[in-house]
Structure 1
Amino acid sequence: MTGQREFFSSRIGFILAAAGSAIGLGAIWKFPYMTGQNGGGAFLMVYLAVVALIGLTMILAEMALGRATHTDAVGAFRRLGGGRWRFFGYFSLLAAFLILSFYCVVGGWTVGYLVKAVSGSLFDESAGDFKARFQSFVGHPLESLFYFIVFMGMTTGVILGGVTRGIERLSKVLMPLLFLLMLVMIVRALTLDGAMEGVRFYLTVDFSKITGRVLIDVLGFACFSLSLGFAGMLTYGSYMQPGESLIRSAVWVVILQTICCILAGFMVLPAVFAFGFLPSEGPGLTYITLPAVFSKMVAGQFFAVVFFSLFLMAALTSSISILEPIVTWLIDQFRMTRKAAGALVSVASTLLGISACWSFGAVDWTFGVADLPAWLRLTPFEFLDYITLNVMMPVNALAVCLLMGWVADDAFRQQLYPAGTAFGPNAALLPRLSWLYSDLTVRFVAPAVILVIMASSVVDALKKAL
């Protein structure tokens, strides 16, 4: 239907869907590495502080914008800020479209590795070492493209089911299952000989490693691992029932996302260290190091299937939140059916994503030209990753903070933090302190943090270019 807006049928459905959006691939493949390399327990303390002091307010602001307007990103910015602000709605949707085109590439790798784990071909020694196998897989133009399209199809299939029968129903199944499988993996990892070395690497407190660069990294990861900056939380917020508590929902989303990050470290690092491997970041950890670990583990094939299953769940619950904002905009603004909107966006994103899919050896994107400057040597995947993470998402997150902090009037903002809803009918001081904290954070602290992150990204880019 195009004329009637859907809503999540329950608070738990919304919380699990929003948490699924925030619990993406980075929580599993990046957080353990960053924590272990940057002070262990000290990094974890800094991360928790940043999430509590800044991340919570930012996610609350985006959800509030959606819940207050009950419309798509463009309509929400325009309704609250006027016609000039709708640019940031379009910019958010463009970010979502670009992210989807390369995020589904990584999702496709996960589907492929799950298939290989189930069939046992993941451990075929005749295929060379695990690094060579991964390079061969991502560099194969047809195999990588096939799994990319499969994952895009899975994402689109969920979206076509709608908010209640698609997104909410899937989240209610996958999110509890994700945490259950993580616990299974943690129990196995911690019972391995030598696992405690990985635990020490993960949790040893070393504040000497908390440098300015690390602080910027943790700020960036904490703020943008919460799915901020591409209208995902805004869109999910627009599906909230009017009477639901924003604060409670946002707090639960942040708690679940943080727990997942912490559990990922206990799942990955003890197993890696138990077999004498060193943790690497990103694809190297997930698709090279961990398969090597599983190959040496008793019942390794079973645990490989479990791991790539939960990894696929994390990828899928995030990808649907990336696609949904664009579909919602097409439905709201052009009165398209959900099926037509979902098909249109997925086909367009697939066409763009082919270039990202073929960024790992299938095509020479320098076209044989030597001595190109660094910024021209970026593959389509690298370019899309950089421009969205370092430019578009920060700009959009900053726009939400400025809109909610400086443009929205006091009466509007006070409706977002009702004392009775958040803290009970007899509360007085605590709600006021909460309001003061949120107001200061969304007006001053969060924008300052985002500007620091953006400036750091610009400096790093200039250093690489020069």
Structure 2
Amino acid sequence: MSEIKTDEREQLASRIGFLLISAGCAIGLGNVWRFPFITGKYGGAAFVLVYLVFLLLLGLPIMIMEFSIGRAGRKNIAGAIRALEPSKSKWHIVGYLGILGNIILMMFYTTVAGWGFAYLYREATGAFNGLEPAEIGAMFGAFLGSTGELIFWMAIVVLLGFFICSLGLQKGVEKAGKIMMSGMFIMLLILVAKSVTLPGASAGLAFYLKPDFSSLSGEAIYAAMGQAFFTLSLGIGSMAIFGSYIGKERSLTGESLHVMALDTIVALLAGMVIFPAAFAFGVDVGTGPGLVFVTLPNIFNQMLGGQIWGTLFFLFLTFAAMTTVIAVFENIMAFTIDEWGWTRKKAALMNGIGIFILSLPCALGFGPWSSFAPLGEGTVVLDLEDFILSNNLLPLGALVFVLFCTNGFGWGWSNFIKEADTGEGIKFPKWIKPYVTYVLPLVILIVFVMGWKDVILKLLA
């Protein structure tokens, strides 16, 4: 193993900063946009329980491994694996694929985050007031077809995200994370209080909190597995970078549990906002991605003071998206700082230009390039980018991280356990070694194969 230098490594100012920005990386559109509509699609409370089980079985061990690699290697995911791998081995290649995964994530995530900004502006300025449901649906379609507007809002996301990162780890990334995460929880609690007290909200609460396992299908179980991967951004090293910024005072199992708890609380509370409101106004909760951008504006339109509640919701959505954007931008920047010796300011500028250019195909995919259907009829560039990341790089990256940490031809079990258990707090349970060594890789392979099966069946249809 090569020597690991830590003297000049930036450090986070506090433990709470680490927990909040790590959770902020995990908390994002997967919690607020994707989790509610797939929960609605797959039957509510029973799906939620299965999802929580997979978070512990799949997400927790991999998160601990990512943090451990980052803290032991003290660099970005590529540099950390290179520092920890046996001499003359090629494990670090997967680290470079992880950085590529972070870039691909931002190639479409910046555009969708821009939708949140656009709808925050629309809601705040009363653009939805007085519109019929069909008109709000048509507005979303027209918005997606307005390429210039999509690019404008995407550019706002890129500019704001890299500007915050350019301010420094503590003064920019950590400070913004603390402000946005705190604001997000306050807004969520206010929105939950409003939603659960609406007339007729009890039916939505029953759907969301009372399990009915008779409606649980094999497809729903696989969707829960996939969501456990997607929501935590595991498999591309986006968590490892924050492990590299912390000391060894706390064990990483305990810290990972705290991060996962914050992520899960936000997802569950988002459902507590959406489902009671949807049932209160007789809205179908399985309407797909349009649930947030079409259904919810319609619900807010029917509420007393709906413009205020809608503005608060889309501000929450924007904060959730930006915490992920900033965290992933920091990961990309850390790679160029560590590997190429760039200053933080140069890294922000050059990566900002690069991400903006690479994000253009996603925005163009809804307009001039909409005839390009890469995964079959009805798909767009975003679907291809999401497929490359979610169905390939996330599961395959997670598989390699597990093998790297559990097998002697990688970093190895003893090194991983030593790092994970350093410091005070909950220790990694040694008795689950057979599970993480032999069973977990098989489960990850199932996620990978099932993801390809769905796409192949769609292409053949």
Amino acid paired to 1:40 = G
Q: Is the 8 A contact 1:294 1:303 kept in 2?
A: yes
Q: Is the 8 A contact 1:111 1:312 kept in 2?
A: yes
Q: Separation in 1 of the partners of 2:267 and 2:61?
A: 19
Deviation at 1:444, TM superposition (A): 2.3
| Number of residues of Structure 1 aligned to a counterpart in Structure 2 | 451
Q: Quickly say closer, same or farther: Cα 1:464–1:36, change in 2 above 3 A.
A: closer
**Deviation sequence 1:200-238 (CA, Å, 0-9, x none):** 221231112222222111111113311212221011111
Q: Separation in 1 of the partners of 2:341 and 2:363?
A: 32
Q: Separation in 1 of the partners of 2:375 and 2:58?
A: 34
1:78 to 69, 82, 85: 82
Q: Separation in 2 of the partners of 1:56 and 1:323?
A: 23
Q: Is the 8 A contact 2:37 2:289 kept in 1?
A: no
**Deviation sequence 1:214-265 (CA, Å, 0-9, x none):** 2111111113311212221011111111323312211100111111111111
Q: Is the 8 A contact 1:3 1:335 kept in 2?
A: no
Amino acid paired to 1:297 = M
Amino acid paired to 2:226 = G
Q: Quickly say closer, same or farther: Cα 1:305–1:336, change in 2 above 3 A.
A: same
2:411 to 401, 408, 411: 408
Q: Is the 8 A contact 2:375 2:384 kept in 1?
A: no
Indicate yes or no: 2:396 matched with 1:390.
Answer: no
Q: Separation in 1 of the partners of 2:440 and 2:32?
A: 25
Equivalence for 2:327: 321
Indicate yes or no: 2:456 matched with 1:462.
Answer: yes
- Which range is displaced more, 93-102 or 198-207? 198-207
Deviation at 1:66, TM superposition (A): 0.2
Q: Is the 8 A contact 1:11 1:249 kept in 2?
A: no
TM-score by length of 2: 0.93
Q: Residue 278 of structure 1 aligns to a residue in which SS?
A: coil
Amino acid paired to 1:414 = I
Q: Separation in 2 of the partners of 1:352 and 1:99?
A: 11
Deviation at 1:462, TM superposition (A): 1.5
Deviation at 1:46, TM superposition (A): 1.6
Q: Quickly say closer, same or farther: Cα 1:281–1:80, change in 2 above 3 A.
A: farther
Deviation at 1:363, TM superposition (A): 3.4
Q: Residue 311 of structure 1 aligns to a residue in which SS?
A: helix
Name the % identity.
33
Indicate yes or no: 2:42 matched with 1:41.
Answer: no
Indicate yes or no: 2:244 matched with 1:238.
Answer: yes
Q: Separation in 1 of the partners of 2:215 and 2:134?
A: 37
Indicate yes or no: 2:103 matched with 1:109.
Answer: no
Equivalence for 1:14: 18
Q: Quickly say closer, same or farther: Cα 1:196–1:389, change in 2 above 3 A.
A: same
Q: Is the 8 A contact 1:54 1:441 kept in 2?
A: no
Q: Residue 128 of structure 2 aligns to a residue in which SS?
A: helix
**Deviation sequence 1:138-186 (CA, Å, 0-9, x none):** 2112111111101111111121122111111111111121111111111
Q: Separation in 2 of the partners of 1:292 and 1:456?
A: 35
- Which range is displaced more, 114-123 or 133-142? 114-123
2:349 to 323, 343, 348: 343
Q: Is the 8 A contact 2:249 2:423 kept in 1?
A: no
**Deviation sequence 1:354-403 (CA, Å, 0-9, x none):** 1101222343444xxxxx88559742212111111101111111111111
Equivalence for 2:3: none
Amino acid paired to 1:65 = I
Structure holding more helix per residue: 1
Indicate yes or no: 2:280 matched with 1:274.
Answer: yes
Indicate yes or no: 2:448 matched with 1:443.
Answer: no
Q: Separation in 2 of the partners of 1:130 and 1:456?
A: 35
Q: Is the 8 A contact 1:29 1:281 kept in 2?
A: no
What is the correspondence of 1:119-134 to structure 2 with a 5 Å cutoff? 119-123=125-129, 125=131, 129-134=135-140
Amino acid paired to 1:463 = L
**Deviation sequence 1:292-326 (CA, Å, 0-9, x none):** 00111000000011000000010000111222222
Equivalence for 2:234: 228
Give ranges in structure 1 of 5+ residues lacking alignment: 367-371, 424-430
Tell me the C-alpha RMSD between the 2 structures.
2.1
Deviation at 1:86, TM superposition (A): 1.4
Equivalence for 1:201: 207
What is the correspondence of 1:235-384 to structure 2 with a 5 Å cutoff? 235-280=241-286, 282-366=288-372, 374-375=375-376, 378-384=379-385
Equivalence for 2:59: 55
Deviation at 1:13, TM superposition (A): 0.6
**Which 4+ residue blocks in structure 1 deviate beyond 6 angstroms?**
none
Indicate yes or no: 2:144 matched with 1:138.
Answer: yes
Q: Separation in 2 of the partners of 1:41 and 1:127?
A: 28
Q: Is the 8 A contact 1:58 1:446 kept in 2?
A: no
Q: Is the 8 A contact 1:171 1:317 kept in 2?
A: yes
